[in-house]
């Protein structure tokens, strides 16, 4: 089994935390997406931005552009994470712009989609996911990785059943057959063996557990 593993370390670690994480990380093929200031500490690893500026405007306080990410050896960028959609009010239009910017820069976008708990309860998952995908992928040409991340599963310790994940991942693959599809939302060392039973899933986008070296070591061991 060789699953794609994306480590979205969010804002969990300080510089010291990153250094001890790296001392304890046992190795393996992981796409690391640390906080921007710490990208430089991840020598000889595959790297991605947790976000990317929508345009290449240079007079843009606080933004990190595609050129800057590329100069730090990033080959991936996470786009449309639900925390950006929620806290930065990013909509599908911005997500589409960021996705096209990433592709134009020759990098691979990791596009996050997923339903809220309310939408899940109402049985709207497929419709929400399709709408997010179609809007975010408009005019896209090139390699894209899609991460199916139910918003209610992120950081909550909850996950859909394997059957539910398999159903949505297959649905996405029917819509966009050439893209790899990851699952994200409370992936941990304790549930990775069960999740690995879902053959349609090409890998995982891991948040909280990816900044703890012992957790990530276990996950890498089960997946590679």
CA-CA distance, 224 to 209, in Å (whole number)? 17
Instruction: Please state the φ and ψ torsions of residue 200, each to the nearest 5 degrees.
Output: -70, -20
The answer to the question of residue 28 lying near ligand PGA (CB under 6 A) is no
CB of 130 to ligand PGA, least distance (A): 20
* From 83, 90, 115, 149, the catalytic residue: 149
Cβ atoms of residues 120 and 152 within 8 Å: yes
Tell me if residue 145 falls in helix, strand or coil: strand
Shortest distance, position 38 Cβ to ligand PGA, whole Å: 17
> Of 33, 39, 36, nearest to 5 (Cα)?
33
Q: Applying CB under 6 A, does 8 fall inside the site for ligand PGA?
A: yes
149 is catalytic: yes
Question: 58 CB contacts (<8 Å, ≥6 apart)?
Answer: 65
C-beta of 174 vs 202, nearer to ligand PGA = 202
Among the listed residues 175, 119, 197, 93, the one whose alpha carbon sits nearest the alpha carbon of residue 183: 197
* Residue 199 is a catalytic residue: no
**Is residue 48 a contact residue for ligand PGA (CB under 6 A)?**
no
Closer by beta carbon to ligand PGA, 171 or else 215: 215
Question: Segment 141-160, which members bind ligand PGA (CB under 6 A)?
Answer: 149, 154-155
Instruction: By CB under 6 A, name the binding residues for ligand PGA.
Output: 8, 149, 154-155, 184-187, 205-209
Active site residues: 81, 149
């Amino acid at each position: 089994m060789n699953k794609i593993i994306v480590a979205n370390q969010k804002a969990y670690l300080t510089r010291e935390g990153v250094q001890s994480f790296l001392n304890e990380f046992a190795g393996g093929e992981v796409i690391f997406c640390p906080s921007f200031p710490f990208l430089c500490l991840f020598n000889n690893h595959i790297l991605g931005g947790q976000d990317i500026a929508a345009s290449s405007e240079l007079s843009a306080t606080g933004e990190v552009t595609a050129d800057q990410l590329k100069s730090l050896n990033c080959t991936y960028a996470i786009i449309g994470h639900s925390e950006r959609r929620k806290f930065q009010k990013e909509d599908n239009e911005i997500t589409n712009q960021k996705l096209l910017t990433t592709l134009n820069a020759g990098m691979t976008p990791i596009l996050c989609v997923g339903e809220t708990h309310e939408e899940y309860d109402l049985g709207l998952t497929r419709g929400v996911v399709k709408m997010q995908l179609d809007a975010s992928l408009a005019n896209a040409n090139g390699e894209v990785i899609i991460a199916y991340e139910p918003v209610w599963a992120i950081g909550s310790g909850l996950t859909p059943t394997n059957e539910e994940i398999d159903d949505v991942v297959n649905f996405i693959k029917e819509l966009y057959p050439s893209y790899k599809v990851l699952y994200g939302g409370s992936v941990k060392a304790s549930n990775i063996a069960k999740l690995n039973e879902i053959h349609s899933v090409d890998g995982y986008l891991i948040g909280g557990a990816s900044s703890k070296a012992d957790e990530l070591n276990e996950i890498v061991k089960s997946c590679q």
